[in-house]
Every structure is written in structure tokens, then in C-alpha cells.
Structure 1
Amino acid sequence: MNTAQISYAHMNATVNPKHVDSLLRFFEQGCTDASHEGYGVEIEHLPVSNADDAAVGYYGDAGIEVLLHRLRPFYDKSEEYWDNGRLVGLGREGVSVSLEPGAQLECSLGVIHRIDELRSLYRAFRSEVDPIADELGFRLVNYGYQPQSSWRDVRVNPKSRYDAMTDYLGRVGQYGLCMMRCSAATQISIDYCDERDALAKLRIGTAIGPITAWFFRNSPYFEGRDNPYPLLRQRMWDAIDPQRTGIIPGLYDERFGWEDYAVDVLSTPMMFADLTHTPEAADLPVAQQHRAAFRDNAAEVYPDREFNAYEINHVLSTHFNDVRLKNFVELRHWDSLPLPGVGRLMEMVSSLFYRDEQFSRLTSYFDGVNELDVLAAKADLQAHGQDSKPYGQPLEFWKEFLGLEGLLSDVPGDDAHPEVFQA
């Protein structure tokens, strides 16, 4: 009996073997050559008014929709993204621009291989977007949460999926609507060469994530006030919906594998169903193609066949673990950061995950760590902040052990985005 059977036998969860096979092939297709060192970098931005720092939404004569339309000449027409007849995304080689629910503007860069590529692509993006935003009376800031506005002040953008997502997260857990409408993050994705390598990176990324989140924290505000939480992003995500956030169930069991991850994802209620690219649902009303799914898992939502590519992406994207597996490993711990901070973050990820000596040192140190240890470290950081001792060691130890001392000293802002993280 594998770990999936051990974990889920008592839940009577129906998992379609064809769906499991679809995910396993998808994970296998993500394997790269061991020497490949690629990064996907996503930086979310909060649009705020120049007049009073209030959140700027999608709609209106000077909102994000207008910004996107004025950016269109810089992007490829074939890579425009529309939803409900409204422009919601742009793309070109190396850069895509998309929207989070509260009109947070996300810049996705990749696959990149060097920090100078990060700087070049991102500065080009900002050189195009910043003058337009300024003419419209707002700017993009890099904080983990809106500096002035509450989630109640922010209307979701016109993507039809966000109505279903609001229906679900507005009724389950805590902070879901805060996360959707007012938060912003930096995420870095890395490659793996096989299943063993992917699992090792998932485990190490999960274990050190809360510590690195502390050193790269950048959420001075929450709901229009000073932020009371040492790690606001962690506080929100841990409380949103334990079925799909936090530590991957069973990750630190030595028997855990890709199949177990697939079963976990497929066993959990979908959060919301997306049948917009499911041919069998083409005749359904739009309201039924996007709907909240409080109880239905993938086997109850999708047909008895293998997934198509869109369905795979949707099923995996409805889980928000601290570190997420797609056909890459996605590290999701960090607040939105200005470019200098993102550069240092990428240097850290490169050093810890792509340098064999460093990664071996980490895997050796964390050998034997389990899920309860990681939960205790997260709780310690949340409760004690600067005085915490995750895994029994003070933060000064971790700064040295993770090679952060040089990275965190003398981090300047720049003219385009002076918000510097709080290291």
C-alpha cells in the first residue's frame, strides 16, 4: 500500500486513474538535463493612486484596463488574453503581463538563466508601463499588501473564474478575500531533473521557506494599518484553506512520490470548476462552466478520460502549497519585492538549489526533519519574529548558514521603485 492509499483510504475520495496518469506524465515531461539552470520569475505589483495611495482597480477611465490597452503596441497581438470581452493579459517573447483578482499587475519572466536577463527584461517592462501609469495618475509598488486600501475597497477584475473563486474563498477559511484583492508576491520557479530531485527540492524549499520569507519580508501594511504580523503572507495563506495550502501532506514521508502528490491534488475539492476548455461542457451555460466546488473533486467535475493541457494546469493551480509542483518546482514564500530584492532572491535560489555542494549540505542538515518540525518553525517565526529560533537556531545562524549575509547588506532601491524590503 503506497502513501496515497494510507492517507486517503478513510476519506472515501474517488480518484480517477486516468487523471492520475495525466499528472504523472506532466511531471515527467518537466524533467530537464541536470546541468540546466533555468528560472521562471513572477513579480506582482500593486497599483496605487499617486494622490492618496489608494488601490487602483481594473475599471474606469484611468484604471488597469486602460493601461493594458495602451501597452498593446509593445506586445504581440497573437498573445493577447481576453475574458468576457475585456483585455486581461499581454505577452511577447520572455515577458507576459497578467492580472491577479484585485487588478494586481503580474510580470512573468522566463525561462531566464542569468540575473542580467532578469534586470534587462524587467527594466524594459517598467520603462514601458511606468510612464503610462503616471499619466493615468497611479504607480506600481512592490509591497506584499496594499498600503492604504482594504479588500472591501477593491473590485475583482472581469475574469469569470474570479466570481467562482470569490464565492468559495469568501466562505472557507480566513483571509481569502484579502489575499485575492490586496496581496502581491514574488515567486521563483526552478527545474528538476527527475522525481528524486523534484522531491528533494520540494522538501528543502518547504523547510527553509519560512526563514527566507523572514529575511525578504516586505509587508509594512495590512488593511490600511501597520501590519501586526511578523510574516503576513504566511499568516494569510496558512489560514485561507488548509485543504490546499501549507505543507504538502505526506511530503516528508520517505515513501512519498509524484503519485502521492497527484492523489492529494485530485482528492481535494476543486475550489472552483473550470470547464471552459472541456469539450464535453461546451453547451453548458457560462455560469456552470465556472462555479464554486465546495465538495466536488476532479473525478466528479471532469470526464472519464485523460486531462487536456488546460485542465492539468487548472487542477494543479487550485492548490497553493508553500512550494508547489507543476512541471517545475515553484517557490511561493515571498512578498512582492523591488528589482534589487528580486535579484538578491534569485542569487540565493541559485546558490541553494543549483549548486551541488550547497544543496547536499542542506539535504544533510535537514535529514530527518518532518512536517511537525516545519510547522513548529513557522509558528515560532510568527510568534517571536526577530527573537525566533526556527529548528532551534537563531536567525543570525540562518543568515550565515544560508549564505544571506552578503546578499542582504547594502541593497539599494532605484528611481523607478524605491520600496526596499525590510532586511
Structure 2
Amino acid sequence: MVTPRISYAHLLATPNPKHVDSLLSFFENGRAQRGTGGFGVEIEHLPVHNADDTAVSYYEPNGVETLLLRLRPYYDESKEYWENGHLVGLARDGVSVSLEPGGQVETSIGILHTPEDLNALYSRFRQEADPIVAELGWRFVAYGYQPKSSFADIPVNPKDRYDAMTSYLGRVGQFGPCMMRCSASTQVSIDFVDEHDAIAKMRIGTAIGPILAWYFRNSPYFEGRINPYPLLRQRMWDYLDFQRTNVIPGLFDQRFGWEDYAIDVLSTPLMFADLTHTPEALESGATAKELHRAAFYENAGDVYPDRELNSYEINHIISTHFNDVRLKNFIELRHWDSLPVERAERLTEIVASLFYVPANRIRLESYFDGLREEDVLEAKANIQARGRDASPYGQPLDFWQEFLGIEGILVDVPGDPAHPDVFQA
């Protein structure tokens, strides 16, 4: 007997068929344009003062805005992103620099053809940025959470969407403001060749993500104290807003496909509507605030016109979902804390081995054949409850270290009272 798929969003709002077709075309174009074998890596950095390790804000004198302004000469002027009169993004071939809500500085790097390519592009960014931040009196920290500051001490940057997200996420879950203002991550993106390949990779990524997160955990602190959670990032996202986080509903049903994912995304309230690239809104003379507005109860069909969506609108709609694994015109694996580049490169090597080496891929698909959404939720809870004594999917962590080819990875996190302050190379 096949377990029926349940998505309560579908009972509340039926997405516009033209919007569904738009997302399906978007996924198909990703397949056609990218093929397979490439990577994208995003590393978010926590800016902290040298004097006391507290967070550096966007607005303060010699803060994050000053860094971006001084980095401008290194980037393509035509690709700058400004909002409300403030610079919030830079880009050039191979690298873009953007901001998370609390002023975290994100570098998006790719397309990479081997994991080793990461270091060259990333090193150039750091060679340009580090002397500037040193002169400004602060530095970048690669942790999953601010070491000293509380979310209450950090203002959001000038993007309008972050005001709306603060109002929304601060009321629906436990950790919205914490995640927005203090957390930082490493994300790895991979390609897919068709719908079947994409769904299979999304299932594998969802299943093994929490296990890899254990070996690449890097959050010794939470709200100025020792972090009590084995996997802080997972804890924050899982308890944030279940309709847009955690495991994609229905992913492990064998009938699941791109259309199911599109319907789920389009049926969920947007939180925030971005109409800055919607011609009908621009032609209507809408004000800046009307082009950027909260959409707490409105889904895409309520906000966007009855036509095919453009790529900007599609990317915005998908960006309001934060599942463990996210489908765009590539697959985004989102489980991991911010990491130093050496560890990010090692993570990318492991992802490459598991997803792009046919023998490893077949082995994973065979092992997880018949896996259910409930099994993934149980594995996550097992790691959170038992830490190093966990047995996700019924197997001890030593088994997974060998099975996933991650021998010699992080053993202990500095600052965690449950573990010595040592690392293993």
C-alpha cells in the first residue's frame, strides 16, 4: 500500500498552472544548460571585532557597508546590487559577494569543475578583503554562529525582505531571529541531468546531510554561551517554520517529481513579495515599498500575474523556501555550518565522490532504497539526542564514517564541554 502524500498547503490554495509550468521549464533549462559534474560553493562569514569578538554590523562606522564600498574596485560595476541607497552586493566572473540578514558576508563561488578549484577563487577574495577588514579593526570568523553576540544585538541590513522576514519568522518558530542575524553556513550545489537524477540526488542529500553535518559541525557557541545542541544549524532550521524548512514534503514517495515540488513551493505563503522585476507592477507606477512588501498570507498566485513567470520571479519564490535540500536550476545542499576553506574543500570532495562517482551513487541509492520521510526525521532526532553515541538509520557513526568515505574528519569542536578541544587532520 502506498502512503498518500499530504501537503496541507494544497488544500488552502491551488497554484496557477502557468506558474507551475514556469517552474518545470526552469528546472528543465537547468538540466539542459548545466549537464553534470560542476559545483557551486557558498561560504558565509561572521564579521567580528578584533577587540572583543562581538558582531560587526552593516551600519556602524567601519562596518560591513564600508567593506563593500572598498571592495567595489575589484568587482564588475554593472553587477553591483544596491537597495535603499546602500550597497548590498558585488559580483564578477566566478565570485559574487552578498549579505545575509545580520551582515554576514557570503561568497558564492562557481561554477567549479573540481573541488580543488575552490581554493584559487576563494583565496583571491580573501586576499582582497582581509587587508581591508584588518584596517577596519575586525575579521572574518568561520563558525556556524556568532561567538559572543546575541541576535538581539544585531540589526538587519538594508534589504527590505529582511524586515518582513523578521516580522514573520519571529512569530512562527523558536529560532527565526537567531538564524537570520547570527548564523552562518557552507552550502554546496551540484548538477543534475534529468528529473529522475535530480529527485534521486535530492533524496540522497536529504538522507546523508545530517550525518555529514555531524562530521563538519562548527558551532561551538550559541547566544554568547557554549552551544548545547549537537547540530545547532539543524536545530534552528527544523524548529523555524515547518512549511518551508526541513524535509521536502512527499520527497520519498516514489511518485514524487518536479511538479510536486513546484506545487508545494507555489502553494506556500511567500513571506515577502519582490516585484522589482515584474513589468506589470513597474508599469503601474508602484512605489518602492509596494515593489518590496510583506506577503504573510499570499502565495505566488496571489502576488504575480496570470502568465508565465520570469527567471527573477522564480528565483525569488524558491528563495522563500529553506528545505535541507533545495531545487533551483541546480541542487543546493544546505546542511552545514560555516567552514574554513580547507574544510569546505574537503566537504566538496566528499560530495563529489558520493554524487558524481557512479559506483558510490549506486551504493547509496541501494542502501537507502525504501527510505521514508519519517526515517530521516528519526535519524535527525537521534543525532540531536545522542550526539557522538547516535545511531542514525540504525548504524553507529563509525559505520557512517567508513561508508561515506569521511575518515579523518573533525572529531571535536572547540568550546564544546562534551568534547576535548582538539581537531583531527
SS in 2 for 1:115: coil
Instruction: Give the conservation status (yes or no) of the 8 Å contact 1:69–1:87.
Output: yes
Q: What one-letter code is carried by the residue in structure 2 that aligns with 1:165?
A: M
Instruction: Give the conservation status (yes or no) of the 8 Å contact 2:10–2:263.
Output: no
Moved more, 14-23 or 114-123: 114-123
Aligned to 1:144: 144
CA distance in 2, matches of 1:34, 1:81: 25
Cα deviation, residue 20, structure 1 = 0.1
Cα deviation, residue 409, structure 1 = 8.3
CA distance in 2, matches of 1:73, 1:166: 32
What does residue range 209-248 of structure 1 map to in structure 2 within 5 Å?
209-248=209-248
CA pair 320-34 structure 1, distance change in 2 beyond 3 A? closer
Residue 320 (structure 2) aligned to one of 318, 321, 328: 318
Q: What one-letter code is carried by the residue in structure 2 that aligns with 1:366?
A: F
Could you give the per-residue CA deviations for residues 59-107 of structure 1, whole angstroms, max 9, x where no partner exists?
1221011111111111111111111111111111111111111110001
Cα deviation, residue 205, structure 1 = 0.2
SS in 2 for 1:30: helix
Could you give the per-residue CA deviations for residues 124-172 of structure 1, whole angstroms, max 9, x where no partner exists?
1111100100000000010000000000010111112211111111221
Q: What one-letter code is carried by the residue in structure 2 that aligns with 1:57?
A: S
What does residue range 308-387 of structure 1 map to in structure 2 within 5 Å?
308-387=310-389
Could you give the per-residue CA deviations for residues 249-281 of structure 1, whole angstroms, max 9, x where no partner exists?
000000000000000001111121111221222
SS in 1 for 2:171: coil
Residue 399 (structure 1) aligned to one of 395, 398, 401: 401
CA distance in 2, matches of 1:90, 1:218: 27
Aligned to 2:44: 44
Aligned to 2:266: 266
CA pair 3-304 structure 1, distance change in 2 beyond 3 A? farther
Q: What one-letter code is carried by the residue in structure 1 that aligns with 2:165?
A: M
Cα deviation, residue 407, structure 1 = 5.1
Instruction: Give the conservation status (yes or no) of the 8 Å contact 1:168–1:272.
Output: no
CA distance in 2, matches of 1:410, 1:116: 25
Aligned to 1:25: 25
CA distance in 1, matches of 2:159, 2:3: 37
CA distance in 2, matches of 1:410, 1:115: 24
Q: What one-letter code is carried by the residue in structure 2 that aligns with 1:179?
A: M
Instruction: Give the conservation status (yes or no) of the 8 Å contact 2:410–2:424.
Output: no
CA distance in 1, matches of 2:121, 2:4: 42
Identity in percent = 69
Could you give the per-residue CA deviations for residues 354-382 of structure 1, whole angstroms, max 9, x where no partner exists?
00000000000000110000000000001
Moved more, 208-217 or 113-122: 113-122
Could you give the per-residue CA deviations for residues 103-129 of structure 1, whole angstroms, max 9, x where no partner exists?
100011000112332111111111110
Instruction: Give the conservation status (yes or no) of the 8 Å contact 2:205–2:325.
Output: yes
CA pair 363-83 structure 1, distance change in 2 beyond 3 A? same
CA distance in 2, matches of 1:190, 1:25: 18
CA pair 308-239 structure 1, distance change in 2 beyond 3 A? same
Cα deviation, residue 421, structure 1 = 7.3
Q: What one-letter code is carried by the residue in structure 1 that aligns with 2:149?
A: S
Could you give the per-residue CA deviations for residues 316-368 of structure 1, whole angstroms, max 9, x where no partner exists?
11000000000001000000000110011011000000000000000000001
SS in 2 for 1:103: coil
Gaps of at least 5 residues in structure 2 are 414-420
Aligned to 1:415: none
Instruction: Give the conservation status (yes or no) of the 8 Å contact 1:32–1:192.
Output: no
Instruction: Give the conservation status (yes or no) of the 8 Å contact 2:411–2:423.
Output: no
Gaps of at least 5 residues in structure 1 are 412-418
Cα deviation, residue 14, structure 1 = 2.2
Q: What one-letter code is carried by the residue in structure 2 that aligns with 1:402?
A: L
CA pair 359-226 structure 1, distance change in 2 beyond 3 A? same
Q: How many residues align?
A: 415
CA RMSD in angstroms comes to 2.2
What does residue range 48-127 of structure 1 map to in structure 2 within 5 Å?
48-127=48-127
Cα deviation, residue 10, structure 1 = 6.6
Q: What one-letter code is carried by the residue in structure 2 that aligns with 1:304?
A: D
SS in 1 for 2:173: coil
Cα deviation, residue 177, structure 1 = 0.7
Moved more, 266-275 or 322-331: 266-275
CA pair 33-362 structure 1, distance change in 2 beyond 3 A? farther
Aligned to 2:294: 292
CA distance in 1, matches of 2:34, 2:303: 37
CA distance in 2, matches of 1:33, 1:226: 45
Q: What one-letter code is carried by the residue in structure 1 that aligns with 2:142?
A: N
Query: Normalised by the size of structure 1, how large is the TM-score?
Result: 0.94
**In the alignment, is residue 192 of structure 1 matched against residue 195 of structure 2?**
no
CA pair 94-337 structure 1, distance change in 2 beyond 3 A? same
CA distance in 1, matches of 2:106, 2:34: 29
CA pair 108-420 structure 1, distance change in 2 beyond 3 A? farther
Q: What one-letter code is carried by the residue in structure 2 that aligns with 1:308?
A: N
CA distance in 2, matches of 1:321, 1:85: 32
Instruction: Give the conservation status (yes or no) of the 8 Å contact 2:5–2:253.
Output: no
